[in-house]
Amino acid sequence: MSDATPQNDPRVPALLELTQALIYRYGELASNLAGHLPENVKAELIDHTQTVMQEARDRIAEIAGAPTG
């Protein structure tokens, strides 16, 4: 299966769609949780979540060959 690359593997679009949905849900969960935390912890959680989500979006775009938005 050495020729299975993102460009010719038919599973990639579905996996990318699933990953994007999971990233969105991760953001929702962090946002809901943040409402119950002290301000300093909330700020750290929000910063961490935004960083992780952007890194995931960048990686998805790299795999898909599309720019991040």
Determine which of 6-10, 17-21, 52-56, 64-68 has the lowest per-residue pLDDT on average.
64-68
Name residues whose C-beta falls within 8 Å of residue 23's C-beta, 6 or more positions apart in sequence: 53, 56, 57, 60
Whether the Cβ atoms of residue 30 and residue 46 lie closer than 8 Å to each other? yes
Categorize the per-residue pLDDT at 51 as very low, low, confident or very high, splitting at 50, 70 and 90. very high
pLDDT in tens, 18-36: 888 988 898 888 888 888 8
**Above pLDDT 70, what percent of the chain?**
84
pTM of the entire predicted model: 0.64
Q: Where are the domains of the chain?
A: 12-61
